Amino acid sequence: MEASNVRDRPGHFLFWGGGILAALLPYLLLFVKPEWRASWILDPGRFADNLAIAMRHVLIGATLGGWLWFLINRVNPISTLRSWWKTPNPFNWVWFVLSLAIYSIHNILVLMNLPLGIGEFVSAAAGRILTALIVLSLIWIGARIASLSAPRKLRMLPWVIPALIPGFLGSDALAIIFWKNSLRFVINKIDEDGPIDIARQLAAGGIHHSPAVVIAALLIFGAVLCGLCYASFRLSKKTSPRLNFKPAFIVLTLGLTWGGIAVEKASGFAWKSRKALRMEHNSYEIHLTPIKPEPGVVSYRATWRQPVRPDISTHATSQPDIFFFMLESVRADAISETHAPFLTKFRDQECQQLGKTWAGSNATHLSWFSVFNGQLPPFWGDAMETIRDGKDLPASPFIEILKKSNFNLEARTICDLSYLGMGSTNFGSPHELSVLKSAPNGSNFENLPYAERERQNLEETMEALRDAPSSGNFHLLAYDTPHFDYSWHDSFTPPYSDYEPSGGFHAYPTHEDIERVRRRYFNAIAWTDHEISRFVDFLKEEGRYADAIIIVTGDHGEEFQENGSWFHCSSVEAEQTAVPLMIKWPKGTEAPDQISASHLDVLPSLLDHLGYPESTFSSLPGHSLLKTRDEEATQINITSYCGIMGIAMAWHRGDYTATFRWENPWATQLPDTISLDDITGSDGSLNLENPEQWDQALKKHFPDAAERYFSKFEKK
Segment 139-173, tens digit of pLDDT: 888 888 888 888 988 888 898 888 888 888 888 88
Question: How far is it, in rounded angstroms, from Cα 556 to Cα 370?
Answer: 12
Count the neighbouring beta carbons within 10 Å of the beta carbon of residue 514. 17
Q: Which of 70-79, 595-604, 682-691 is predicted most confidently? A: 595-604
Q: What separation in angstroms does the CA of 27 have from each of 43, 220, 319, 523?
A: 12, 24, 52, 46
Residue 371: predicted pLDDT: 98
Residue 316: predicted pLDDT: 86
CA angle 253, 256, 262 (to 5 degrees): 140
Task: Write out pLDDT tens, residues 215-243.
Answer: 888 889 888 888 888 888 888 888 776 66
Task: Write out pLDDT tens, residues 174-216.
Answer: 877 766 567 777 777 777 666 666 766 666 555 667 778 878 8
Q: List residues bridging with 598 in a β-sheet.
A: 358
Residue 534: predicted pLDDT: 98
In the three-class reduction of DSSP (H, G, I as helix; E, B as strand; rest coil), residue 673 is classed as strand
Q: Which of 76-80, 429-433, 474-478 is predicted most confidently? A: 474-478
Pairing of the two strands 581-584 and 684-685: unpaired
Closest CA to 364 of 431, 415, 435, 319: 415
Confidence check: pLDDT of 33 > 80:
no
Confidence check: pLDDT of 2 > 80:
no
Residue 120: predicted pLDDT: 94
Residue 243: predicted pLDDT: 65
Q: What separation in angstroms does the CA of 104 have from each of 99, 283, 385?
A: 8, 14, 38
Residue 504: predicted pLDDT: 60
Question: How far is it, in rounded angstroms, from Cα 39 to Cα 617?
Answer: 39
Sequence-distant (6+) residues with CB within 8 A of 192 are: 44, 45, 47, 384, 420, 668
703 DSSP 8-state letter: T
Higher pLDDT, 647 or 359: 359
Question: How far is it, in rounded angstroms, from Cα 359 to Cα 376?
Answer: 11
In the three-class reduction of DSSP (H, G, I as helix; E, B as strand; rest coil), residue 90 is classed as strand
* Residue 713 pLDDT grade (very low, low, confident, very high; cuts 50, 70, 90): very high
Question: How far is it, in rounded angstroms, from Cα 99 to Cα 420?
Answer: 35
Core vs surface per residue 575-611: b (16+ CB within 10 A) or e: bbbbbbbbbbbbeeeebeebebbbbbbbbbbbbbbbe
Closest CA to 372 of 603, 549, 581: 603
CA dihedral 83, 85, 86, 90 (to 10 degrees): 100
Higher pLDDT, 51 or 435: 435
Question: How far is it, in rounded angstroms, from Cα 647 to Cα 320?
Answer: 40
Residue 77: predicted pLDDT: 66
Count the neighbouring beta carbons within 10 Å of the beta carbon of residue 325. 22
260 DSSP 8-state letter: H
669 DSSP 8-state letter: S
Sequence-distant (6+) residues with CB within 8 A of 229 are: 92, 95, 159, 162, 163
Task: Report yes or no: 87 and 246 within 8 Å, Cβ to Cβ.
Answer: yes
pLDDT above 70 as % of the chain: 92
Residue 524: predicted pLDDT: 97
Confidence check: pLDDT of 3 > 60:
no
* Sign of the four-CA dihedral 387, 393, 397, 400: positive
Q: Please give the full DSSP string across 317-358, using - where no structure is assigned.
A: S----EEEEEETT--GGG--TTT-HHHHHIIIIIS----EEE
Q: List residues bridging with 560 in a β-sheet.
A: 566
Task: Report yes or no: 658 and 679 within 8 Å, Cβ to Cβ.
Answer: yes
438 DSSP 8-state letter: -
CA angle 582, 585, 587 (to 5 degrees): 140
Question: How far is it, in rounded angstroms, from Cα 474 to Cα 228?
Answer: 59
Question: How far is it, in rounded angstroms, from Cα 456 to Cα 473?
Answer: 19
Q: What separation in angstroms does the CA of 86 have from each of 64, 80, 249, 251?
A: 21, 10, 9, 12
Core vs surface per residue 183-207: b (16+ CB within 10 A) or e: bbbbbbbbbbbbeebebbbbbbeee
Mean pLDDT of 50-59: 89
Closest CA to 554 of 478, 634, 475: 478
Residue 581: predicted pLDDT: 98
Of the listed ranges 103-112, 602-611, 688-697, the one predicted with least confidence: 103-112
Q: Burial-class residue 365 by CB neighbours within 10 Å (0-12, 13-18, 19+).
A: buried
Confidence check: pLDDT of 287 > 80:
yes
Sequence-distant (6+) residues with CB within 8 A of 653 are: 596, 632, 633, 634, 635, 701, 702, 705
Mean pLDDT of 53-63: 91
CA atoms lying within 13 Å on the CB side of residue 64: 12
Question: How far is it, in rounded angstroms, from Cα 408 to Cα 472?
Answer: 6
The rounded mean pLDDT for the chain is: 88
Sequence-distant (6+) residues with CB within 8 A of 364 are: 328, 420, 422, 555, 556
Question: Domains in the chain and their CATH numbers?
Answer: 3-286 (no CATH), 323-610 (3.40.720.10)
* Residue 111 pLDDT grade (very low, low, confident, very high; cuts 50, 70, 90): confident
Pairing of the two strands 408-412 and 244-245: unpaired
Task: Report yes or no: 398 and 464 within 8 Å, Cβ to Cβ.
Answer: no
Mean pLDDT of 47-57: 87
Q: Burial-class residue 438 by CB neighbours within 10 Å (0-12, 13-18, 19+).
A: buried
Question: How far is it, in rounded angstroms, from Cα 398 to Cα 498?
Answer: 42
Mean pLDDT of 75-82: 69
Count the neighbouring beta carbons within 10 Å of the beta carbon of residue 112. 13
Task: Write out pLDDT tens, residues 303-341.
Answer: 999 998 888 777 888 999 999 999 999 999 999 999 999
Q: List residues bridging with 582 in a β-sheet.
A: 552
Residue 345: predicted pLDDT: 98
Residue 347: predicted pLDDT: 98
pLDDT above 90 as % of the chain: 53
